[in-house]
Amino acid sequence: MGIRNTTLFLVLIGLIFIGTTTFGSERHDNFLSKNQIGVRFGAWANQGDDIPDLLVTPDIYFESKVNNTSFYFEGYYAHRILKQLLAEFSIGVANRGSVTIKELGITDFGNLMVYPILISARIYPIASADTRIQPFVSVGGGLYYGRQTVQISNYYFDATYRERSATDWDISLGGGFDWLLGSNLGLEFRSSYHPIHFAKPLLTAKEYDALTVTIGIKYFYKPKQAK
């Protein structure tokens, strides 16, 4: 499982234990009035074009180890608009894998990264103060930024100008549920679909559609009222 995964698993088990032993049967009215801040982590599953492992042309040599499934991490803030509605701002990152490019005697090594920067409406259609499980759906959109980075190069000057990038403005659709652990703490289980269609190819591919499956840890809080 690995040290990092084992640590995350133990942290989640500890949170669940704390929540189930301290939350009892109290009502959850506070959840329906609070903002949220948290992180998500899980899997980024490619639903778009495949990127070749090897491409050789007269001008360029291209070798990649780009994965169809990658680790995904996301941080977010969700502001309470109504009892059933939050406005969420999120920034995520997926490392799709490594890339080596040889061109005009220069060799660059880096990674293929995708950054979703999104604004979404998260809707709790059956929000209730009488249950720990709070299902939701989300719809939104924003900027998807893809970048082939250059981390190591045999070019002795600044090589970052040869990094390649592409952008797309598109939607995001998702759904899942919150599991309330305490008055200020909860877990989130979520799946989202991201249709990503870059106008220009990035490492020969334009379609970067993805499905994410994540678990999250979130903190609920209500800002202090101004005097």
Digit-by-digit pLDDT tens for the chain (227 residues) are 444 544 455 455 455 444 444 444 456 667 888 999 999 999 999 999 999 898 888 777 889 999 999 999 999 999 999 989 999 999 999 999 999 998 888 899 999 999 999 999 999 998 877 788 999 999 999 999 999 999 888 887 677 778 899 999 999 999 999 999 888 899 999 999 999 999 999 999 999 999 999 999 999 988 765 44
Say if CB 180 and CB 31 are below 8 A apart. yes
Q: What is residue 48's predicted lDDT score, i.e. its pLDDT?
A: 95
Residue at token pair 């490594």: 98
Residue 140 CA, chain-centre distance (Å), reads 14
Q: What is residue 84's predicted lDDT score, i.e. its pLDDT?
A: 92
Q: What is residue 79's predicted lDDT score, i.e. its pLDDT?
A: 96
Q: What is residue 95's predicted lDDT score, i.e. its pLDDT?
A: 96
Q: What is residue 10's predicted lDDT score, i.e. its pLDDT?
A: 47
- Region label for 23, one of left (φ > 0), alpha (ψ between -120 and 50) or beta (otherwise): alpha
Q: What is residue 22's predicted lDDT score, i.e. its pLDDT?
A: 43
User: Where does residue 84 rank: exposed (0-12), middle (13-18), buried (19+ CB within 10 A)?
Assistant: middle
Count the Cβ atoms, other than its own, within 10 Å of residue 160: 12
Q: What is residue 27's predicted lDDT score, i.e. its pLDDT?
A: 62
- Name every residue whose Cβ is closer than 8 Å to that of residue 200 and which is 6 or more positions away in sequence: 166, 206
